[in-house]
């Protein structure tokens, strides 16, 4: 096997494989597959979204392209201060009067995804944007069979104070025409969903280029619609949309180099947890034993509390990188865990973000690989008439109270858990394990456990993403129904509050590829619709 693709959508995986078979490189395959994702998972991701792309190529190229959307220039720190109803039940975000931060025109940050895909193709790919759009256009125009995961999102009811997702399909008449039957009923699993307006938009981008979206006719259509409906995004905001290239954050775990992304992505959270856990013999504790879960959970809580208090958009927040990545810090935190101290995670607004996101991993046997997470947040529910694509709702995550690390500000990016990560082989030269996931604030916790599963317990990529997981982003350890009840009772006896989920699988939906001895094996989280496949 010379190359592999792993993603939550079979359509995207197959599109990536077709591009590789046709002579495209891993970049071509990743972007072509990601564009298909925008067509067949249109609330998880879209060209008006955001994300983080981690690239390593055999020629020595190693970089990250950050494309987090930013609050429009019309944003002010106090504009929603008087609209606060309460904090969300899970502590992640706020309920506002009119839900203006969650659904509708004001909920969108600047749309960076299309700009990023074009930048990445132009720099590292061999295909044009026009070529890369073709598979997505087919799915827009011919349609795709609605998968269970897509329908499950549409059917989700009110959660922790957030709206029922049906409103994201029904509130906007243009959106309703695409996603609902004429009587307002949702389309069912297996029904064909077509979006010819999105197909026409993609054809226009293919003909006139990405600039049409940011400074041309499409941009004018976006800005006019925003202006007519109280939105914040203007022509100036669109014209200023630029990606940011960054070097990776580096750490080591079990003697291997690990590279991950910079804030406002969540890679620093991954690095903090790995540094702490490198001080423990996790394998000797036993996978998912009470000792193991307690130790890893404490690392999760420490990193979460630090994320809430001292991490954010580095343009606006002074992040103590040197401290977080130091041996002294990791030693102190490890000693705290050994003493049996339980970290408290204050539940104010902890910068949580939606679980509605997607991911793509592509790798070949020569050491070229891409791991990219991209998203619409939980999607605004807004579609400009005639354009077909949905806008993000990333303004939802900002703190509407001025004076906080996550407060609103023009040009500011929301902090996210997006953390596409690469672990290198023992020599430190070639990628060995790449991982990423959708899943909101749980992304870092899922990515962490996949890495631990692969390195400490020798699991294949599929085993690493399939193994029972837990997550601890508060004082409560949340466990899936496959974690033994006897283990849960032991944790409770140690004073840990727990919450058992009815589901056997837990967000995030982790995807991974392992490259070992020149052979590739892939993993697709069984909680989703996806798969891993190679050529």
Q: Kindly list the catalytic residues.
A: 357
- DSSP strand pairing (94-96 vs 84-87): antiparallel
What does the alpha-carbon distance between residue 89 and residue 496 come to, in Å, rounded to a whole number? Answer: 20
What does the alpha-carbon distance between residue 43 and residue 105 come to, in Å, rounded to a whole number? Answer: 15
Give buried/exposed letters for 183-209 (b at 16+ CB in 10 A, else e): eeebbeeeeebebebbbbbbbbbbeee
Q: Which two tokens stand for residue 67?
A: 């494309």
Q: Which two tokens stand for residue 102?
A: 């969650």
CA distance readout (Å), 427 to 255, 257, 366, 424: 10, 9, 15, 8
Q: Helix (H, G, I), strand (E, B), or coil: what is residue 483?
A: coil
333 membership: H or E segment, kind and range:
helix 327-338
Which ranges of 100-216 would DSSP assign to H, the alpha helix? Answer: 113-124, 129-142, 148-154, 167-170, 173-179, 196-208, 211-214
- DSSP strand pairing (477-479 vs 498-500): parallel
Location of structure tokens 């858990």? 417
Closest Cα to residue 347, out of 291, 401, 301? 301
Phi-psi label, residue 160: left if phi above 0, alpha if psi -120 to 50, beta otherwise: left
Give buried/exposed letters for 83-108 (b at 16+ CB in 10 A, else e): eeeebbebbbbbbbeebbbbbbbbbb
Closest Cα to residue 195, out of 452, 7, 385? 385
Q: Helix (H, G, I), strand (E, B), or coil: what is residue 381?
A: coil
What does the alpha-carbon distance between residue 195 and residue 46 come to, in Å, rounded to a whole number? Answer: 13
Are 409 and 104 in contact, with CB atoms under 8 Å apart?
no
What does the alpha-carbon distance between residue 165 and residue 155 come to, in Å, rounded to a whole number? Answer: 7
Q: Tell me the helix, strand and coil percentages in the chain, rounded to 5.
A: 40, 20, 45
Q: Provide CB contacts within 8 A for 156, sequence distance 6+.
A: 164, 165
Give how far the C-alpha of residue 414 lies from the chain's centroid of Cα atoms, to the nearest Å: 12
Listing DSSP states for 402-452 in one string gives TTSTTB--TTPBPP-----EEEE-TTSSSEEEEEE---GGGHHHHHHHHHH
């Amino acid at each position: 096997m010379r190359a592999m693709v792993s993603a939550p959508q079979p359509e995207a995986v197959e599109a990536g494989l077709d591009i590789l078979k046709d002579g495209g490189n891993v970049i071509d395959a990743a972007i072509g597959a990601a564009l298909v994702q925008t067509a067949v998972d249109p609330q998880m991701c879209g060209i008006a979204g955001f994300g983080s792309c981690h690239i390593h190529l055999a020629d020595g190229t190693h970089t990250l392209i950050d494309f987090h959307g930013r609050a429009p220039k019309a944003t002010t720190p106090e504009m929603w201060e008087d609209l606060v109803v309460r904090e969300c039940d899970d502590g992640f975000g706020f309920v506002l009067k009119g839900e203006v931060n969650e659904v509708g025109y004001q909920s969108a940050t600047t749309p960076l995804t299309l700009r990023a895909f074009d930048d990445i193709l132009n720099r590292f790919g061999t295909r044009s944007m026009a070529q890369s759009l073709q598979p997505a256009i087919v799915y827009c125009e011919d349609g795709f069979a609605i998968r269970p995961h897509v329908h499950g999102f549409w059917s989700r009811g009110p959660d922790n104070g957030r709206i029922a997702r049906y409103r994201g399909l029904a509130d906007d008449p243009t959106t309703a025409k695409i996603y609902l039957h004429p009587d307002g009923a949702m389309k069912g699993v297996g029904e064909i969903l077509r979006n010819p307006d999105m197909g026409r938009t993609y054809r226009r981008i293919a003909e006139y280029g990405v600039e049409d979206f940011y400074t041309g006719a499409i941009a004018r259509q976006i800005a006019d619609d925003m202006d007519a409906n109280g939105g914040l995004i203007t022509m100036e905001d669109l014209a200023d949309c630029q990606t940011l290239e960054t070097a990776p954050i580096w750490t080591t775990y079990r003697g291997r180099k690990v590279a991950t992304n910079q804030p406002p992505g969540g890679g620093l959270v991954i690095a903090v947890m790995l540094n702490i856990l490198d001080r423990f013999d996790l394998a000797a504790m036993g996978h998912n034993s009470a000792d193991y879960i307690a130790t890893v959970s404490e690392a999760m809580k420490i990193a979460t509390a630090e994320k809430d208090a001292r991490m954010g958009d580095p343009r606006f927040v002074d992040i103590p990188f040197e401290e977080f990545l130091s041996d002294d810090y990791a030693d102190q935190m490890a000693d705290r865990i050994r003493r049996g101290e339980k970290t408290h995670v204050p539940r104010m607004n902890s910068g949580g973000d939606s679980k509605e996101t997607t991911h793509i991993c592509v790798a070949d046997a020569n050491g070229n690989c891409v791991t990219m997470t991209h998203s619409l947040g939980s999607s605004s529910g807004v579609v400009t008439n005639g354009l077909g694509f949905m806008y993000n709702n990333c303004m939802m995550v900002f703190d509407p109270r001025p004076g906080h690390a996550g407060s609103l500000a023009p040009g500011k990016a929301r902090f996210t858990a997006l953390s596409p990560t690469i672990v290198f082989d023992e020599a430190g030269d070639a990628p060995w394990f790449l991982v990423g996931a959708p899943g909101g604030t749980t992304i870092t916790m899922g990515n962490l456990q996949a890495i631990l599963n692969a390195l400490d317990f020798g699991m294949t990529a599929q085993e690493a993403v399939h193994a029972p997981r837990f997550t601890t982003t508060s004082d409560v350890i949340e466990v899936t129904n496959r974690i033994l009840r006897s283990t849960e009772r032991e944790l409770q006896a140690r004073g840990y509050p727990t919450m058992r989920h009815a589901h056997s699988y837990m967000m995030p939906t982790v995807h991974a590829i392992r490259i070992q001895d020149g052979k590739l094996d892939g993993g697709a989280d069984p909680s989703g619709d996806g798969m891993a496949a190679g050529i």
